[in-house]
A and B are shown apart, each in its own frame.
Chain A
Amino acid sequence: MSDIPHLPLSPLDYHVLVALAEEDLYGYAIMKAIEKESGGALTPEIGSLYRVLARLQDQGLLTEADAPEDAPDTQRGRPRRYYRSTPLALKVLRAETERVGRVVDRARSLLVGEGRP
């Protein structure tokens, strides 16, 4: 894990990477995807989301991608900007998932016995 400086990820970063691991998405679609995959627990706002996108891009975890043929129309005819996760992002996501998984496993084992004796 020491070769990846990005961990731990903030919940919003993590969800963005999960959403983009599946497919390329544009801004509002990312917001909807996060809302869905977090079961409504996270409803990111536009202002926060774009700061995360800017930072993840800066860190080389995201790149821009061309809009697919079937992209929905935009207000001013300008093509939508889609985001794609980089191979590094997948690596980070995997490492973070393992890290979180270990924490979750530990928590589960504690909770089975209803916490401390």
Chain B
Amino acid sequence: MRGPSRLVLTLVRIALRAYPQDFRHSFGLDMEQAFSDGWLDTRSRGRVSTARFLFRTLVNTTAMGIAERVQPSRSSNDEPELGPPMDAILQDFRHTVRALRRRPGFTFIAVLTLALGVGANTAIFSVVHGVLLTPLPYEDADRLVTVWAANEADPDARGNMSSPDIEDLAASASFESLVAYAEDDFALTGLGEAEVVEGARAVGSLLQVFGLAPQLGRDIESGDAREGAASVVVVSNAFWQERFAADPDVLGRILELDGRRYEIVGVAPPGFNFPGSSNLWHSHELDPGCGRGCHIFASIGRLASGATLEQALQEANAKAQSLQETFPDSNHEKLFALVPLLDLVVGDVRTGLWVLLGAVGLVLLIACANVANLLLVRAQTRSGEVAVRAALGASGRRLAAQVMVESLVLSTAGGAAGLLLAWAGVEALRRMAPADLPRLDQVAVDSTVLLFTLALVVSVALLFGAVPAVRSARTSLASSLGSAGPRSGGHRDARTRSLLLAGEVALSLVLLVGAGLLLKSFERLMAVELGYEPQNVVRFSLFLPASRYPDLGEIGGFFDRLEERLLATPGVDAAGSTLGAPLGTTRVVANLQVAGRPEAGPGRKREARFNTATPGYFEAVGIPILRGRGILPSDRVDAVPVAVVSQRFVEQNFPGEEPLGQAVTMSVDFGHGKPTFTIVGVVPNVVSSSLTSEAHAAIYVPLAQMGPGFATVHVRAREGVAPVLPTLRRVVQDLDPDLPLRDVETMRDAVQGKLAPTRFYLTLIALFAGLALVLAAVGLYGVVAYLASRRTREIGVRIALGADRRSIAGLVLREGVQPALLGVSVGLLAAWAGARLLDNLLFQVAPTDPLIFAGVTALLLIVVVAATLLPARNAARLDPMEALRAE
């Protein structure tokens, strides 16, 4: 069993700081020990208990620490230990509510500020909790691990594996089970109109790996992969209910998938749809000719109970070493990468979400600083009342308690309003989240989130209430000693306020820098040279089943006819097809061999993105031909095989040479042979897999000379895609009624989809930074105006004595600008240190981009000056006679 982490212990130590030093010396270490004991004790009762224990300890320690300062426990014992008696607290409560209602302006500002802070935090926390912290809904989900092929150059790569490699790995002791699968879409025919269903091919029981049992029948088994085994399929519970009305006699029925017949042998339990949102899992007959060189499978397994990820990885890599030696051809430099399933599901969003939570945390701190400032001002105006109460015998502790009650009432009201904001915020977040943000369905304001908000409310009350509370207690002591008038501690107050201001400015600067960096990244992303024209292009994918389209003649003939008919459609300018559409999901990377050059050894082979194209493709997508020619209708199966390559391909393989006329072979075979291609043209590089990665070397060969029967058809419309859309399906149906259209989308949407995550983080961080800026400006204005009003008399004297009005304005301006400058310097340092957290979210922008830092600083300073200018101007215009009469 593990004790509390360093972070947790640090929190406890910070809370312990509330106690006076001599108390900490005597008991600090023992209290930490007691906390560790309690941590271990509650840990066995689950995370929620532990969190509750931590939270209670932090709150209690801080409160008791303040109490100890006000009234040391080692002297007298005239009040009971557990705080003022209940009726006194109730009395404070009633008093507070009355007082707050008398000052609706103050109350409204304070509650609104807190509501914004608490609301934003609650909303973002519900996302973090739902997406990152909630375990996956499977038994011992932390033992579910996916395995990928990696290599020594890139040990974190996530490549597909070959099934013999997976089988070897499955035999290792750290895995209880390991099953190969391949995510796939299937054309389902024979049940009404042809359509695409998401699913997977499986070489074993996925359900068993997840610790589940089929609802009906059986799951796919390893025996189903043997040569000659019957083709079987398992359907999801939802599919069974929708398509077969939950018919218990569904077993034995036949599904036709991609033109092949599969017998239904099982129904999965409700809710199971791994991988992705699969509805079908069918058996996959392993091809004995397709050995360790065939990397077509992903795999998922369950670690043996007691085995750790590190052990499994060690064992896997020992296995990889031995495979490298035994099979140098196929396994050269090959390693395995193990990724916990939750990490795979959550993937890239982890950093982004934590950064967002950090950002809203900063906003909340700024909100607290603002409210603390407001309370200090109030404490000042009420110091007369406090002194009277102290003189009448109220103890310091009683007065501090009253301030704490006021803080709690304010923060509770703010928290309640914040919850409403959070409810609306979570809905807005769901709508604006990028499509690839996983597990959005788990995001909700649930009991854990409510607990979090409650914790926020109490901590917030302590944060902004502690300073005024201690101040109140001191005031009473001071006034009962008769050493100060009704307005005590003025100088110290001014310093506290300045520090709070500096803090607000520093925090705002950090947020603004983050927003600035993301904004610049977004600009850079928008400016990426795509290499094609995505406007007015709509696309869809087709899969021609081998049973009906067995050879290149059939395949080429189909696409010829299709594109001919599409071109004949009114409003269509161009149409063409390709295997690996830009920013699509299909990617084929292959080794290449230039004719006349010695064959490269293992691991030294050149790679290129392998693509097919029909004659109309380049025009449809808007890729210009730079040299030579494109693909022509005459490039048929019986003509000389040709290829068009990208500029990067030329740079990599023919530096300083003439590429046209060179002959290359590629390590790809779609079952129609492996021809030698003669290069006849050059096209620009295009952005193909993501906006942020460098364009690959690419080669395009005629679809009609190579296959396969899978391609994405791109249609360029003359004026917008909307009028063309309805005809697409009809054109395809006319040619082959059993071909469903897959993944219909506009190219613009495909590009926008890649921008979406950055847009999402940018929008939120910019929102929080804006909020921070407004709060800081309001805080600054309020404090400077207040301080100036307290110096009215002094200013009046100065003016009467002939002081220049400009120097008076400068005097007031300095009250705001000086702490702001301190805040800017601290903020710059903090942003400098913290910006690297954003590194993963940035594109072509250094986290320490000097322009952003300078620009943001300038913006902040302008706001600072603007916020202080008004009170400064008012002070300068003061009429000395009025001012001297003021007090």
Contacts and interface: CB of A to CB of B under 8 A. Distances in A.
Interface of A: 10, 12-13, 26-29, 31-32, 45-55, 58-59, 72, 74-75, 78, 80-81
Contacts of A12: 81-82
Contacts of A48: 60, 64, 81-82
A47 B65 contact: yes
Contacts of A50: 27, 30-31, 34, 64
Contact of A53 (B27, B37, B75): B27
A58 B64 CA distance: 17
A61 B34 CA distance: 21
B36 A75 contact: yes
B26 A47 contact: no
Contacts of A80: 30, 33
A47 B61 contact: yes
B73 A31 contact: no
A63 to B, nearest CB: 14
B68 interface: yes
A12 B77 CA distance: 14
Contact of A75 (B31, B33, B63, B75): B33
Nearest to B57: A46
B6 to A, nearest CB: 12
Contacts of B62: 47
B820 interface: no
A90 to B, nearest CB: 19
28 contacts: A10-B80, A10-B81, A28-B33, A28-B34, A29-B37, A31-B34, A32-B41, A45-B60, A45-B61, A46-B34, A46-B57, A47-B60, A47-B61, A47-B63, A47-B65, A50-B31, A50-B64, A51-B81, A54-B23, A55-B74, A55-B77, A58-B73, A58-B74, A58-B75, A74-B36, A75-B3, A75-B33, A80-B33
Q: What is the interface of chain B mostly: helix, strand, loop, or mixed?
A: helix
B36 A47 contact: no
B531 interface: no
A87 to B, nearest CB: 20
B73 A46 contact: no
A58 B81 CA distance: 14
Nearest to B61: A47
The residue among A50, A52, A72 with the most chain B CB atoms within 10 A of its own CB is A50
B38 interface: yes
Contact of A54 (B56, B74, B80): B74
Nearest to B29: A78
A6 B37 CA distance: 31
A69 to B, nearest CB: 18
Given A47-B15, A54-B73, A58-B73, 14 more contacts: A10-B82, A26-B30, A27-B33, A31-B38, A46-B38, A47-B61, A47-B64, A48-B64, A48-B81, A48-B82, A52-B81, A54-B27, A55-B81, A81-B30
Contacts of B3: 75
Interface residues of B, number: 33
Contacts of A55: 73-74, 77, 81
Contacts of B60: 45-48
A61 to B, nearest CB: 11
Contacts of B111: none
B281 interface: no
Nearest to A53: B27
B27 A28 contact: no
A58 B31 CA distance: 18
B81 A28 contact: no
Nearest to B33: A74
B680 interface: no
A49 B65 CA distance: 12
Contacts of B65: 47
Contact of A52 (B26, B63, B73): B73
B81 A46 contact: no
B77 A59 contact: yes
A46 B67 contact: no
B35 interface: yes
A53 B77 CA distance: 13
Interface string B77-93: 10011100000000000
Nearest to A6: B77
Contacts of A58: 73-75
Nearest to A32: B41
A46 B23 contact: no
A96 to B, nearest CB: 14
Contacts of A46: 31, 34-35, 38, 57, 60-61
A50 B15 CA distance: 14
Contacts of B56: 45
Contacts of A47: 15, 31, 57, 60-65
Nearest to B74: A58
A83 B27 CA distance: 12
A50 B270 CA distance: 52
B73 A27 contact: no
A48 B628 CA distance: 85
A60 B23 CA distance: 17
Contacts of A75: 3, 32-33, 36
A81 B31 CA distance: 10
A62 to B, nearest CB: 12
Nearest to A50: B27
Contacts of B23: 54
A12 B81 CA distance: 8
A51 B60 CA distance: 11
Contacts of B29: 78
B64 to A, nearest CB: 3
The residue among A27, A28, A47, A53 with the most chain B CB atoms within 10 A of its own CB is A47
A55 B79 CA distance: 12
Contact of A51 (B34, B64, B75): B64
A50 B472 CA distance: 25
Contacts of A51: 64, 67-68, 73, 81
A32 B42 CA distance: 12
A45 B57 contact: yes
Contacts of A59: 77
Given A47-B64, A53-B27, A13 B81 contact: yes
A54 B25 CA distance: 12
B37 A28 contact: yes
Contacts of A10: 80-82
Nearest to A55: B73
Contacts of B82: 10, 12, 48
A114 B65 CA distance: 44
A44 to B, nearest CB: 9
Nearest to A56: B73
Contacts of B27: 50, 53-54
A57 to B, nearest CB: 8
Nearest to A51: B73
Contacts of B57: 45-47
Contacts of B75: 58
Interface string B44-75: 00000000000011001111110110000111
Contacts of B37: 27-29, 72
A51 B30 CA distance: 12
A28 B41 contact: yes
Given A47-B57, A47-B65, A27 B30 contact: yes
B62 to A, nearest CB: 8
A81 B38 CA distance: 16
Nearest to B16: A47
Contacts of A72: 37
Nearest to A28: B37
A58 B82 CA distance: 18
A76 B525 CA distance: 51
Contacts of B36: 74-75
A10 B78 CA distance: 11
A71 to B, nearest CB: 11
Nearest to A74: B33
A92 B577 CA distance: 94
Nearest to A81: B30
A81 B29 CA distance: 10
A49 B23 CA distance: 13
A27 B34 contact: yes
